[in-house]
Structure 1
Amino acid sequence: MLSIKLPQLLRVHQVPRVFWEDGIISGYRHPTSSALDCVLSSFQMTNETVNIWTHFLPTWYFLWRLLALAEGPGFWSEPYHWPLLVFLLLICLYPFTSCCAHTFSSMSPRARHICYFLDYGALSLYSLGCALTYGAYAMPFSWLNSPLHQLFVPTAAVNSLLCTCLSCYSRFLELENPRLSKVLRTVAFAYPFFFDNLPLFYRLLLCSSGGFSCGQEALSANHSYHLLCALLTGFLFASHLPERLAPGRFDYIGHSHQLFHICAVLGTHFQLEAVLADMGARRDWLSAHSPPLSLAATVATMGLAVTGNLIIIAIFTTALLRAPQACPLLQETQPESIGRAKGE
């Protein structure tokens, strides 16, 4: 009978430092796994398994939502839907890229860094997709056609490039200056989030101020759920709780990165519902007060952003490939550990 031998798992002292995760003691895959071993490991319990599946399954959910919405009348022919289409494509892309990054990140130290370079790029483009939909459907009345409105999406495109650049650079500091690395990576994603959500924060401020009738500025409850999930996502990413309080107890289930993935996906779900609510409730009002959306401008902005992000990733990948093998970031073996583990 055909049998498949699942890859061996290691403890933290048996893998190079570049693979270490705060508070995670066991469940590590071999740092030079084959691509097949990486795929097989997604079907055994490792410290990455839940990370993989919490983004693989949502990819299919968001793809289903895309196909269901695309079958609606006028979806492809009406310019009003184009920003939504871009957003839907990007919320399918970022969890799938993250799933692949977690799956294949144990092939080698170089592969690990490159996988996460691509992951950061997909997240940066997702942030641009958020700005694109908010610029089209969520702008406050007083901002419509203002310089702020006109520069909102181009600025978000620049932010996406800065996000990718900072987050990729932070990986080169992980071992020598882990605190700075964490700060840079946190800022890289927190800043685009706060910028993209400026229209929502402004509308929320208007609605919470006394004597103002919200009208078209009213926010869907899903906007609040999305913002709450986003704040939880940021907290989990920065704090490494609960595993920091009890190292080794949350190696396989319940550590911060798994909870981070779940909150991120839930937040994206609520965000999509909120965008759809704004689209429906504000359509006539926006059509009367804002200029028609341009497909050429949308495609040009996304094309430049995608090209720019790929160039940045290529630059950092080239720097990584040219780094000497003695560089700690590229260390493939932990002295005395892996060889000894094979003999156990």
Structure 2
Amino acid sequence: MLSLKLPQLLQVHQVPQVFWEDGIMSGYRRPTSSALDCVLSSFQMTNETVNIWTHFLPTWYFLWRLLALAGGPGFRAEAYHWPLLIFLLPACLYPFASCCAHTFSSMSPRARHICYFLDYGALSLYSLGGAPAACCAFAYAAYSMPASWLNGRLHQLFVPTAALNSLLCTGLSCYSRFPELESPGLSKALRTAAFAYPFLFDNLPLFYRLNLCWGQGHDCGQEALSASHCYHLLCALLTGFLFTSHLPERLAPGHFDYIGHSHQLFHICAVLGTHFQLEAVLADMGSRRTWLATQDPALGLVGTVAALGVAVAGNLLIIATFTASLLRAPASCPLLQGGPPEGGTRAKQQ
């Protein structure tokens, strides 16, 4: 009978510093794991297992939502629905990319960095179509713009600017991996800014509508936000807090190695935020459809395809450039240190 032996787990002082996580002291996989070892490790309790499954399962949920909506009568035939499809495609891609990154990141130091380069690229595209940087911009430009912004300069430049922001997001986040051992504070600041700025830009229409409704204190017509918009923004704030604070494991190192550390909570909040964002977009689509039908779209089909094409091609080029730089780096490069760290057991940020 075929028997498979689960990979051995290590303590923090037994793996290279490049694999350390802040406040995580045990449950590390072997830093030279094979692809099969990485897959098998997703079925044993390591410090990455919950990270893997909290994005693998949502991938199937968002794929189901995509197929259910796209399969509706006349859905694909109406141009009004296309921005929603552009939103949903990256919403399926980014949790799958993150799942793969966490699964295969223990194959080698180089593999770890490349895995996260791809993860950052997928997340950047989602923000273009969905939440932190660019595809969310397509949906917001189509369904969620304030009335006073429609067909104005900002509305016309909203998607192209978001596409450029996605390139900035990918470039900064990929670069942030290079100084993370020598300057962890700088690395963290760059990575946080890479996703915070596109998020703030993409949600300008929501902030403006929220301010209008808050100031009026009564029914604000087409500017009204659904409860899902508020839940999405709350989840986004929690996601940012968890990413930067590394709580609760920073307060009790070693006590949340397997369940309950910040990156797991970060994943859960991110997925919930995407779910609420989808519900909010659907709410705007339904409640504002008659009104939006009287308005001219900011981008036609050609402009939409062009912006998306630039974002996809640009992100792939950036990832390829950083990957090539990493592959050319000598084995002695601190970023690719292969041996266990000498002294100290402080874990670093991801």
TM-score class, shorter: over 0.9
Using the TM superposition, give the Cα deviation of residue 290 of structure 1 relative to its aligned residue in structure 2, in angstroms. 2.7
Using the TM superposition, give the Cα deviation of residue 292 of structure 1 relative to its aligned residue in structure 2, in angstroms. 7.5
Instruction: Answer yes or no: is 1:204 the counterpart of 2:210.
Output: yes
**Rounded Cα–Cα distance in structure 1 between residues aligned with 2:157 and 2:106:** 41
**Rounded Cα–Cα distance in structure 2 between residues aligned with 1:50 and 1:120:** 19
The residue aligned with 1:340 is none
Instruction: Answer yes or no: is 1:25 the counterpart of 2:25.
Output: yes
**Rounded Cα–Cα distance in structure 2 between residues aligned with 1:183 and 1:30:** 29
Instruction: Answer yes or no: is 1:323 the counterpart of 2:337.
Output: no
Provide the secondary structure at the position in 1 that maps to 2:151: coil
Instruction: Answer yes or no: is 1:111 the counterpart of 2:117.
Output: no
The residue aligned with 1:333 is 339
Equivalent residue letter for 1:170: S
Instruction: Answer yes or no: is 1:219 the counterpart of 2:225.
Output: yes
**Rounded Cα–Cα distance in structure 1 between residues aligned with 2:341 and 2:278:** 48
Unaligned runs of 5+ in 1: 338-344
Using the TM superposition, give the Cα deviation of residue 293 of structure 1 relative to its aligned residue in structure 2, in angstroms. 5.4
**Rounded Cα–Cα distance in structure 1 between residues aligned with 2:298 and 2:61:** 30
Match of 2:238 among 228, 232, 242: 232
Provide the secondary structure at the position in 1 that maps to 2:294: helix
Answer whether contact 1:11 1:27 (CA < 8 A) is retained.
yes
**Rounded Cα–Cα distance in structure 1 between residues aligned with 2:126 and 2:281:** 14
Q: Per-residue CA shift, 1:11-69, capped at 9, x if unaligned?
A: 00000000000000000000010000000000000000000000000000000000100
Q: Per-residue CA shift, 1:231-284, capped at 9, x if unaligned?
A: 000000000000000000000000000000000000000000000000010011
Using the TM superposition, give the Cα deviation of residue 294 of structure 1 relative to its aligned residue in structure 2, in angstroms. 2.2
Answer whether contact 1:79 1:293 (CA < 8 A) is retained.
no
Answer whether contact 1:206 1:212 (CA < 8 A) is retained.
no
TM-score normalised to structure 2 length: 0.94
Q: 1:192 to 1:335 in 2, by over 3 A?
A: closer
Provide the secondary structure at the position in 1 that maps to 2:6: coil
Instruction: Answer yes or no: is 1:72 the counterpart of 2:72.
Output: yes
The residue aligned with 1:294 is 300
Provide the secondary structure at the position in 2 that maps to 1:209: helix
Using the TM superposition, give the Cα deviation of residue 213 of structure 1 relative to its aligned residue in structure 2, in angstroms. 4.4
Q: Per-residue CA shift, 1:169-188, capped at 9, x if unaligned?
A: 00001100000000000000
Equivalent residue letter for 1:224: C
Q: How many residues align?
A: 337
The residue aligned with 2:124 is 124
Equivalent residue letter for 2:44: Q
Match of 1:267 among 273, 296, 302: 273
Match of 2:196 among 169, 190, 193: 190
**Rounded Cα–Cα distance in structure 2 between residues aligned with 1:211 and 1:176:** 51
Answer whether contact 1:80 1:292 (CA < 8 A) is retained.
no
**Rounded Cα–Cα distance in structure 2 between residues aligned with 1:39 and 1:327:** 28
Using the TM superposition, give the Cα deviation of residue 212 of structure 1 relative to its aligned residue in structure 2, in angstroms. 6.4
Q: Per-residue CA shift, 1:179-204, capped at 9, x if unaligned?
A: 00000000000000010000000000
Q: Per-residue CA shift, 1:69-103, capped at 9, x if unaligned?
A: 01112211111111100111110000000000000
Equivalent residue letter for 1:25: M
**Rounded Cα–Cα distance in structure 1 between residues aligned with 2:298 and 2:140:** 15
Q: What RMSD over aligned residues (CA atoms) do the two structures have, in Å?
A: 1.3
Match of 1:313 among 309, 319, 327: 319
Provide the secondary structure at the position in 1 that maps to 2:319: helix
Unaligned runs of 5+ in 2: 130-135, 344-350
Answer whether contact 1:97 1:122 (CA < 8 A) is retained.
yes
**Rounded Cα–Cα distance in structure 2 between residues aligned with 1:123 and 1:335:** 31
Provide the secondary structure at the position in 2 that maps to 1:63: helix
Using the TM superposition, give the Cα deviation of residue 168 of structure 1 relative to its aligned residue in structure 2, in angstroms. 0.3
Q: What's the % identity of the aligned pairs?
A: 82
Q: 1:294 to 1:322 in 2, by over 3 A?
A: same
The residue aligned with 1:37 is 37
Answer whether contact 1:240 1:256 (CA < 8 A) is retained.
yes
Using the TM superposition, give the Cα deviation of residue 336 of structure 1 relative to its aligned residue in structure 2, in angstroms. 8.4
**Rounded Cα–Cα distance in structure 2 between residues aligned with 1:69 and 1:293:** 23
The residue aligned with 1:7 is 7
The residue aligned with 1:62 is 62
Answer whether contact 1:232 1:263 (CA < 8 A) is retained.
yes
Q: 1:240 to 1:335 in 2, by over 3 A?
A: closer
**Rounded Cα–Cα distance in structure 2 between residues aligned with 1:54 and 1:332:** 29
Equivalent residue letter for 2:280: A
Answer whether contact 1:131 1:152 (CA < 8 A) is retained.
yes
